[in-house]
């Protein structure tokens, strides 16, 4: 789908959609609790649908009513009789793979797009050490057959925190105590903090010795809970940039004291000279003349596309560093955002692990590609706030992966968008 966006300044008030990271985690925790849990303030994007369908395949009842999901389970989880289809959701796949270790039956995982080849090696190393059989011909489908046993789990921390999260859900259920020891520094560690937050709400205790060492008592039980998902800083980042580049915005439903790693967007834009402040629980974003900065993406890789967009029209040089993992997302995001913003007149040079961005006065218009990547599409849409002519985005429908009503929200605060 092609969308055509005319230059326009964004202004007004917007409610931020719920955190996708917390939504995944809450749905899985509720599925592991015997009884009834209610998760409120969900958006059923493609990623969250994938996780919801997966828990249904495990024998859990999940009833959707508006933005609420009621999850009921009686008895034990059931081994799925059909493949668990993860669509393009890396969280769904990596969180659920250890669940296969709860069953003495083969479990098959399938997916779409770039997910079919995203790295899974940390799990394979663990399976080899535990004698768990798996079949993986270099891409999905993956078949796992064998029960996970309690013990010490050593794995690298620099590939993805999602592997740690997957184990943290399953190890408390095993017969015996376990430890997770990371052999390299944990990147995106705040995502593990979110996991621990949700686990605690649902009755699971984990001892954090260090960010690279966790102790997990076995024979624990998840307890039902009611939980409302807070607003998503990963999505708020687009509107923060849009407000700075436009006429200002008031953003609602964000937690000022959130544990979300992408709350770093607040410090990043302040370091760039952005004028933002909290007032009565709302985040006030005022139009600002921003300047370059050094942006360390090691703990907030999802922010790279929108930070690059803001930096491209900020005075001076911005250096994005420690961003190699950004290449392993829905697209190679370093290549994608550099390519598309340069089409619009930006001056961006790509490095193996980052970007060098020389600020320009504004964007031109032009034809761009979405790279089947929701964050690339949303970043290009926000660029229109500083564009001199029409921007066309081919493949704009990719937003349905995480934020299906993005363009409705965009139009609601002044974005001038139409379908080509």
Indicate the Cα dihedral angle 287, 292, 294, 298, nearest 10°: 50
Q: At what angle do helices 233-245 and 20-32 cross, to 10 degrees?
A: 170
Helix axes 304-312, 374-383, angle to 10 degrees: 20
**How far is the C-alpha of 349 from the C-alpha of 98, rounded, in Å?**
39
Find out whether 309 and 241 touch, Cβ atoms under 8 Å.
yes
Residue among 342, 282, 348, 293 at smallest CA distance from 316: 293
H or E, element range at 77: none
* Distance of alpha carbon 167 from alpha carbon 173, whole angstroms: 10
State how far Cα 44 lies from the chain centre.
14
3-state secondary structure of 355: strand
Q: What is the dihedral of CA 265, 396, 248, 276, to 10 degrees?
A: 0
Query: Which of the 8 DSSP states describes residue 67?
Result: T
Q: How far apart are CA 77 and CA 365, in angstroms?
A: 53
Catalytic positions are 302
Q: How far is CA 300 from CA 47, 189, 276, 345, in A?
A: 19, 9, 19, 26
User: Percent helix, strand and coil across the chain, each rounded to 5?
Assistant: 35, 25, 35
Burial of 127 (0-12, 13-18, 19+ CB in 10 A): buried
Classify 62 as helix, strand or coil.
strand
| DSSP codes, 3-60 | EEEE-----EEEEPPBPHHHHHHHHHHHHHSSEEEEEES----HHHHHHHHHHHHTT-
Total Cβ atoms within 10 A of residue 331: 24
Residues in the chain: 420
């Amino acid at each position: 789908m092609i969308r055509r966006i005319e230059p326009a300044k964004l202004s007004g008030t917007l409610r931020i959609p719920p955190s996708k990271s917390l939504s995944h985690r809450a749905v899985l925790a509720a599925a592991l609790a015997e009884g009834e849990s209610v998760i409120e303030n969900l958006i059923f994007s493609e990623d969250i649908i994938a996780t919801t369908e997966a828990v249904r395949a495990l024998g859990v009842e999940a009833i959707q009513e508006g933005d609420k999901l009621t999850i009921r389970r009686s008895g034990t989880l059931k081994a799925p009789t059909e493949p668990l289809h993860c669509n393009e959701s890396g969280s769904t796949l990596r969180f659920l793979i250890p669940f296969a270790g709860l069953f003495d039956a083969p479990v098959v995982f399938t997916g779409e797009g770039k997910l079919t080849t995203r790295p899974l090696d940390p799990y394979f190393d663990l399976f080899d050490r535990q004698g768990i059989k798996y079949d993986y011909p270099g891409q999905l489908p993956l078949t796992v057959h064998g029960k996970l046993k309690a013990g010490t789990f050593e794995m690298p921390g620099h590939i993805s925190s999602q592997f740690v999260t997957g184990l943290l859900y399953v190890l408390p259920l095993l017969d015996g105590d376990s430890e997770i020891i990371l052999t390299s520094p944990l990147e995106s560690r705040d995502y593990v903090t979110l996991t621990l937050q949700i686990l605690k709400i649902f009755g699971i205790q984990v001892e954090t010795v260090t960010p690279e060492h966790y102790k997990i008592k076995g024979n624990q039980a998840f307890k039902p809970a009611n939980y409302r998902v807070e607003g998503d800083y990963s999505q708020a980042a687009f509107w923060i940039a849009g407000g700075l580049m436009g006429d200002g915005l008031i953003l609602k439903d964000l937690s000022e004291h959130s544990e979300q790693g992408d709350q770093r967007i607040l410090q990043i834009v302040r370091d760039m000279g952005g004028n933002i402040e909290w007032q009565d629980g709302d985040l006030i974003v005022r139009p600002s003349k921003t300047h370059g900065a050094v942006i360390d993406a090691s703990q907030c890789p999802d922010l790279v596309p929108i930070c690059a967009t803001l930096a491209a029209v900020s005075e001076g040089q911005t250096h994005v560093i420690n961003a190699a993992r950004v290449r392993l997302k829905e697209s190679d995001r370093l290549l994608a955002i550099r390519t598309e913003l340069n089409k619009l007149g930006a001056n961006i040079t790509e490095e193996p692990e980052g970007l060098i961005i020389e600020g320009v006065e504004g964007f031109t218009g032009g034809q761009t590609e979405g790279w089947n990547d929701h964050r690339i599409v949303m970043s290009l849409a926000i660029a229109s706030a500083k564009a001199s002519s029409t921007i066309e985005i081919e493949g704009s429908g990719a937003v349905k992966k995480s934020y299906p009503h993005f363009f409705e929200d965009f139009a609601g605060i002044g974005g001038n968008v139409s379908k080509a």
